[in-house]
Amino acid sequence: METVGFVGLGIMGRPMLKNLLKAGYTVIAFGRNAKKLDACVADGAVRAASNRDVGSRASIIFTMLPDGPEVEDVVLGADGILDGCPPGALIVDMSSINPLVSQKIAAACAARNVDFIDAPVSGGEPKAIDGTLAIMVGGSEKAFRHAEPLLRCIGSSVTLTGPVGAGNTTKLANQIMVACNIAAMGEALALATRCGLDPDVVVNAIKGGLAGSAVLNAKAPMLIARNFKPGFTIRLHQKDLRNALLTAEANRVFLPLTALVQQMLQSLMGDGKGELDHSAIATFSERLSHVEIRRA
């Protein structure tokens, strides 16, 4: 089994790394947060000294970082992963970033005879823990086949969606649908609650019909229980919608609902809710209607 590198050890990265360890891979880990790195070493990972050190010691390197600038810095920056990679290595970026940034990094990697794929995920912390993430991949067929056995240790759905950048474009489409669904759920349950109905009863009544969705099943219980422990934060979702709007602008696509929900997320961040789970998008409607969606 080949040696694996992993950089980015946060809410999503650490459980993904642990699933690779469970599958029997040797994982070389690095992150700038010493406590998070120590935790991963305690899980069984091997400590690296730098991003470059990870690249020099692994044939396939995973990154899971907040946004494009961080990925550029970790991969292409001074003492970055690419500086350590031998020809023929593969970098798998699982971050959710602007597709144009993925393509820029891929071009720099290609100049060094290093393969690159973008492979963002959907499912949040719970599915990262149990290894059932949905993974959307952009890259060559060859690079995809190289990464696929490892990706299947992390996700239950692994799909090659097109060339580099296609994975992140698919993820942006996913994030638009999720954010708009949560916002609509907030409006619907605010109305039901103001009208004197129990939101639990309303959710149970509608989830088996056309309005039912994975978003409703996962996020309505959190909202009603007032449990906003983050599996995926409002701050990160706002970043994804910003990238969706930038991509839409570059391709002359009109996204009015996305723009509206992105403004809602910015408002919630202004209220200090940026680190709450994105189920708290629904609290925007609560604030405007002066109603709290909770169990009766």
Is the Cβ–Cβ distance between 124 and 229 less than 8 Å?
A: no
CB proximity list for 93: less than 8 A, separation 6 or greater: 62, 63, 65, 71, 75, 102, 105, 116, 117, 118, 119
Task: Say if 4-164 and 169-289 have the same CATH topology.
Answer: no
- More reliable by pLDDT, 226 or 231: 226
Read off the pLDDT band of 294 (50, 70, 90).
Answer: very high
pLDDT at res. 171: 97
* pLDDT tens by residue, 56-67: 999 999 999 999
Read off the pLDDT band of 219 (50, 70, 90).
Answer: very high
pLDDT at res. 46: 98
* pLDDT tens by residue, 19-40: 999 999 999 999 999 999 999 9
Distances (CA, A) of 196 to 106, 147, 208, 211: 54, 52, 22, 21
Please say if the pLDDT value at position 55 is more than 80. Answer: yes
Please provide the CATH number assigned to the domain covering 4-164. 3.40.50.720
pLDDT at res. 278: 97
CB proximity list for 261: less than 8 A, separation 6 or greater: 179, 180, 183, 241, 281
Please provide the CATH number assigned to the domain covering 169-289. 1.10.1040.10
The DSSP-derived string for 84-140 is HPPTT-EEEE-S---HHHHHHHHHHHHTTT-EEEE--EESHHHHHHHT-EEEEEES-
Task: Return the H-helix or E-strand segment holding 4.
Answer: strand 4-7
Mean pLDDT of the region 103-128: 97
Q: What percent of the chain has pLDDT over 70?
A: 100
Q: Is 171 designated active site?
A: yes
Is the Cβ–Cβ distance between 243 and 98 less than 8 Å?
A: yes
* pLDDT tens by residue, 171-184: 999 999 999 999 99
Read off the pLDDT band of 236 (50, 70, 90).
Answer: very high
pLDDT at res. 1: 85
Q: Return the domain boundaries, the chain.
A: 4-164, 169-289
* pLDDT tens by residue, 261-282: 999 999 999 999 999 999 999 9
Mean pLDDT of the region 58-87: 97
Which of 171, 219, 239, 273 is catalytic? The answer is 171
Q: By C-alpha distance, which of 174, 172, 185, 183 is closest to 242? A: 172
- Give the alpha-carbon dihedral of 8, 14, 19, 20, to 10 degrees: 30
Model pTM?
0.93
Q: Which two tokens stand for residue 250?
A: 């570059």
Q: Which two tokens stand for residue 205?
A: 């009544």
Indicate the average pLDDT of the chain: 97
Is the Cβ–Cβ distance between 184 and 285 less than 8 Å?
A: no
The phi and psi torsions of 218 (rounded to 5 degrees) equal -85, -40
